[in-house]
Amino acid sequence: MCSLLSGVAEERAAPSKGSQDSKPVLLFLRDAGIALLFVALVLLAMYAYTGLWPPLVVVESNSMMHGTDNLSHIGTIDTGDLVLVRDIGDVDDIETYVDGFVFGHKTYGDFGDVVVYRRDGSQTQTPIIHRAMLYLEINEDGHSYRAPSLQYLAAEKWSTSNPMDTWDHLTSVIMIYHVGWNDITVNIDVNHFIPYRGNGYITKGDHNPTIDQMASNRPVDVSWIVGKARGEIPWFGLLKLWTTDTLGSEAPENSVRNLWISIGVIVILPIGIDVGLTFKEKQEIAKKKAAYQAEQKKEDAAKAEEPVRSAGEPKQRT
């Protein structure tokens, strides 16, 4: 009777074949759900921080890179980087190169903020991510500009081609000296913008020798600006550029290498952890099974010896 009950209990405890087959699927769905939830929370946090959707842009070219060797660096904006873009309210939210030089504000390896803007406000063209160099305001006479931040800049740092120009009456070429990683002079021809008669930013890629407005008659209006760059995820934007064939310049060799190493770590590390935990779990099960089998052998040996002792005892008389 005891043997029969034991067999029934074991039969009930044993999992069915169907439940065993569905277990891997359920585990996969659980892990996939956790991964999707994590991604959603990260994107939600990015949106909460930036105030923009999408909160990231991919850098397509080398126009913001530092150096001539086409190697990427953490802390600068390189081809294939993902850059967080934060929303702005007005011109007071952006510090130009000149402002940054005066007050010590640096981002991405140089003074001032890096902005993302749409050329001429176009919604069809790819946005540009370059550094804001100087903010110009048209004077009431309509024939000159002023740049209030220049009044705080040291005299040896800038000059104008017309010696009669001052920070609040600019009609010629502004020259800003010793700019960037390559120590260049940035020329801003104010006369070029006077026909436009509007306020705006002068912008430049850190890798470029000239300002963006050499090809445009208009400074960057604040309404064209999507936001300012704040933070980056290096290398991973290359995946998008490769799949969409939008790589604007050669990908830095070390960025490609670091990308594959990172992907390898991301893929292999969870697998390694899972294998390690599974191996440890199997070891614990094997130990428990061995202990159970040893206990069963002791019980079986004790049961086998009991009838032998009983047979050796003298038969009791009634």
Q: What is the pLDDT of residues 278-316, one digit of tens each?
A: 888 888 888 888 888 888 888 777 777 765 555 455 555
Residue with more model confidence, 205 or 28: 205
CA 256 to chain centre: 16
> What's at 96, amino acid-wise?
T
Q: What is the pLDDT of residues 99-112, one digit of tens each?
A: 999 999 999 999 99
* CB 233 within 8 Å of CB 82: yes
Whether the predicted model's global pTM rises above the 0.85 cut: no
| Residue 285: per-residue pLDDT | 86
Where do the domains of the chain lie?
A: 18-50, 51-266
* CB 51 within 8 Å of CB 93: no
Residue 3, pLDDT above cutoff 50: no
Indicate the pLDDT class of residue 17, thresholds 50, 70 and 90: low
Tell me the chain's radius of gyration from C-alpha atoms.
36
Q: What is the pLDDT of residues 157-212, one digit of tens each?
A: 999 999 999 999 999 999 999 999 999 999 999 999 988 889 999 999 999 999 99
Which residues have CB under 8 Å from 143's CB, separation 6+?
171, 194
Sequential DSSP letters for 53-85: SS-EEE--SSTT--SSS----TTS--TT-EEEE
Can you state the angle between helices 237-244 and 253-312, rounded to 10 degrees? 110
| Residue 270: per-residue pLDDT | 78
Q: What is the pLDDT of residues 250-271, one digit of tens each?
A: 999 999 999 999 999 888 887 7
